[in-house]
C-alpha cells in the first residue's frame, strides 16, 4: 500500500501546469465509441480513472491506441459486446456513461449497477428516467441494468435534481434518437459543455449546453473528429487552495479562469490575492487567512469537489466558518482526520462549523475519497512536522503526477510504500 509522506511548512511557490479534465474525459471517451470512425482525443489526463475506462472499453471490443501520454485514438467499429464488465464499474462509477453511449448507438446496453460510493448514496434514477422517456425499456437482471429500445424517440425530459451524470448520459443517447429532445433543469458544468461540444464535433446537434435547457436533434450517424479536452477545474482549484493554505505564491497554468470563478471568489474572500490571465491564475497568500461561509451548489455555484480543500484552508483561518454540503451527504469524512491534525471542527448533518486554529500539526491520516485525500495532502503541506497520508489510491484516481507537481512548487512530499522508505524520508528532511 502506498502512502504520501509530507514534511509541512514550506510555502508553495512557482508554476504548475494543469491537465485535462477527468470528468469531461470520462464522458468524452464513452461518447467516442458512438461512431465507427476513428476519433482522436487530446489533453487526456493521465490518471487512474481514465486508464480504467480505456481498459473497460477495450474489453468490449473498442480499439484503443494510446499515441502519447495525453492523446488517444479510439475506434468503436469492432464492438462485439454491449455488456460491460462489473470489475470496471466497481472501480469507476462513471463507466455508467457507457449505458447512454451504447444505447444511443446500438439501442441496447448492459452495464452493472454501480456499487455504493464513499461520498454518499448515488442513485441513477434520473439517468433511467431519461432513457425511458426516450422509449427504452430498462430492467435489472443479475445486478446489471439492461436498457433497450426498438427505436429511440426524442422527448421532453425534466430532471428533478440537477445531475451532471444524468445530463451527459441522456445527451449521448438522445444524440442518436429520432427527433428532438429537450432536457430541462440540466446541469451546466463545464464538462457537460465539453461533452456536448465533442458530440457536436462528431456531427451531433446539441444546443444550449451550459444553460439549464439543452435541445438535441437526433442524427443517424456520428463521424470522426479530433478533440482536445478542457483543463481540469478541480485539479486547478486544488493547487489554488494549496497555495492559500501554505501562504504561497503559485501560478496555475493551462486553465480557463471563467471555470474557476466560484473558487477564485472564495479565495479572495479569505484574503488571498488572485490575478487572472488568459489561461492562468496566480494565487498569493501572505498573512493568515480569514474565515468565510460556503455552500456547495451545482455550477456556477461553489463545487462540491472543492469542499474539502476549502475546509482545510478554513481550519487554518482566523475566526469561525460554516461549510454547508448540499450535493452529497457524506463528504465530511476528512474532518475526523483533520481533527487528528489539530483542527477544531464540528459536523452536524450537512454542515461543518470550523473554528480556525493557528496551526495544524503532522499526523498519520487516511484518504477517505479522492478530493478529501487531496485536501489532507494540502493539510500536511501546511502543517508543522511530518504527515503520512494512507490510502492514496483514491488520490491517484484523479490527480496526475500529484507529488511531482507539488515538489516542483517546493513541497517536501514523497510516495512511499514501506517503513524503510518512511525512515529514509525522515532522515533526509531532518
Catalytic residue numbers? 117
| C-alpha span between 23 and 17 (Å, rounded) | 18
Report the b/e string of 67-78 with b at 16+ CB within 10 A.
eeebebebbbee
Contact (Cβ atoms closer than 8 angstroms) between residue 326 and residue 316: no
- Kindly write out the interface string for residues 311-350 of this chain, putting x where it contacts ligand UD1 by CB under 6 A and - elsewhere: ----------------xx----------------------
Q: What is the DSSP letter of 179?
A: S
**Least CB distance to ligand UD1 at residue 370 (A):** 8
Nearer to ligand UD1, 190 or 356 (CB): 190
Residues of span 149-168 touching ligand UD1 by CB under 6 A: 161, 163-166
Minimal distance, residue 329 CB to ligand UD1, in Å: 8
Characterize the bridge pairing of strands 249-253 and 273-276. Answer: unpaired
Q: How far apart are CA 232 and CA 241, in angstroms?
A: 15
* Nearer residue to ligand UD1 within complex by CB, 323 or 360: 323
- Min CB(234)–ligand UD1 separation in Å: 7
Size of the site for ligand UD1 (CB under 6 A): 20
Nearest Cα to 306, choosing from 331, 337, 342, 343? Answer: 331
Q: Which helix (H) or strand (E) holds 336?
A: helix 334-340
Q: Is the link from the previous residue into 361 a cis peptide, with omega within 30 of 0?
A: no
Confirm or reject binding of residue 184 to ligand UD1 (CB under 6 A): no
Min separation Cβ 15 and ligand UD1, Å = 26
Q: Which is nearer to ligand UD1, 3 or 186 (CB)?
A: 186
Report the DSSP beta bridge partners of residue 386: 7
Grid cell, residue 321, equals: 466558518
**Contact indicator for 283, 250 with CB cutoff of 8 Å:** yes
Nearer to ligand UD1, 171 or 317 (CB): 171
Interaction between residue 94 and ligand UD1 (CB under 6 A) = yes
Closest residue to ligand UD1, based on beta-carbon distance: 165
Does residue number 123 form part of the binding site for ligand UD1 (CB under 6 A)? yes
Task: Kindly state the smallest distance separating residue 399's Cβ from ligand UD1, in Å.
Answer: 13
**Site residues, ligand UD1 (CB under 6 A):** 23, 26, 94, 122-127, 161, 163-166, 187, 303-305, 327-328
Amino acid at each position: 500500500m502506498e502512502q504520501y509522506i509530507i514534511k509541512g511548512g514550506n510555502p508553495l511557490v512557482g508554476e504548475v501546469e494543469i491537465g485535462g479534465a477527468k470528468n469531461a474525459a470520462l464522458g468524452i471517451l464513452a461518447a467516442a465509441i458512438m461512431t465507427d470512425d476513428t476519433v482522436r482525443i487530446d489533453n487526456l489526463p493521465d490518471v487512474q480513472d481514465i486508464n480504467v475506462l480505456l481498459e473497460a472499453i477495450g474489453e468490449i471490443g473498442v480499439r484503443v491506441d494510446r499515441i502519447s501520454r495525453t492523446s488517444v485514438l479510439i475506434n468503436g467499429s469492432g464492438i462485439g459486446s454491449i455488456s460491460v464488465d462489473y470489475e470496471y464499474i466497481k472501480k469507476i462509477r462513471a463507466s455508467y456513461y457507457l449505458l447512454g453511449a451504447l444505447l444511443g448507438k446500438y439501442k441496447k446496453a448492459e452495464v452493472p449497477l454501480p456499487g455504493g460510493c464513499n461520498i454518499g448514496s448515488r442513485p441513477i434514477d434520473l439517468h433511467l428516467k431519461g432513457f425511458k422517456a426516450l422509449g427504452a425499456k430498462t430492467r435489472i437482471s443479475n445486478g446489471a441494468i439492461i436498457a433497450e429500445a426498438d427505436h429511440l424517440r426524442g422527448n421532453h425530459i425534466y430532471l428533478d435534481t440537477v445531475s451532471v451524470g444524468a445530463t451527459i448520459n441522456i445527451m449521448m443517447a438522445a444524440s442518436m434518437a429520432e427527433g428532438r429532445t429537450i432536457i430541462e433543469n440540466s446541469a451546466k458544468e463545464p464538462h457537460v459543455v465539453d461533452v456536448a461540444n465533442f458530440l457536436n464535433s462528431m456531427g451531433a446537434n446539441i444546443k444550449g449546453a451550459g444553460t439549464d435547457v439543452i435541445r438535441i436533434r437526433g442524427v443517424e450517424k456520428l463521424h470522426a473528429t479530433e478533440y482536445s479536452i478542457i483543463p481540469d477545474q478541480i485539479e486547478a482549484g486544488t493547487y489554488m487552495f494549496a497555495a492559500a493554505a501554505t501562504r504561497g505564491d503559485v501560478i496555475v497554468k493551462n486553465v480557463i479562469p471563467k471555470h474557476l470563478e466560484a473558487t477564485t471568489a472564495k479565495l479572495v474572500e479569505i484574503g488571498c490575492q488572485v490575478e487572472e490571465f488568459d489561461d492562468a491564475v496566480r494565487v498569493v497568500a501572505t498573512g493568515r487567512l480569514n474565515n468565510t461561509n460556503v455552500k456547495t451548489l451545482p455550477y456556477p455555484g461553489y463545487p462540491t469537489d472543492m469542499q474539502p480543500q476549502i475546509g482545510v484552508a478554513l481550519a487554518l483561518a482566523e475566526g469561525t466558518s460554516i461549510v454547508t454540503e448540499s450535493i452529497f451527504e457524506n463528504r465530511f469524512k476528512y474532518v475526523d482526520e483533520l481533527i487528528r491534525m489539530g483542527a477544531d471542527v464540528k459536523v452536524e448533518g450537512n454542515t461543518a462549523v470550523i473554528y480556525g486554529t493557528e496551526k495544524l500539526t503532522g499526523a498519520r491520516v487516511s484518504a477517505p475519497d479522492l478530493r478529501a485525500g487531496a485536501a489532507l495532502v494540502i493539510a500536511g503541506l501546511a502543517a508543522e512536522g511530518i504527515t503520512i497520508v494512507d490510502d492514496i489510491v483514491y488520490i491517484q484516481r484523479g490527480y496526475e503526477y500529484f507529488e511531482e507537481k507539488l515538489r516542483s512548487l517546493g513541497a517536501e512530499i514523497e510516495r512511499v510504500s514501506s517503513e524503510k522508505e518512511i525512515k529514509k524520508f525522515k532522515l533526509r528532511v531532518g
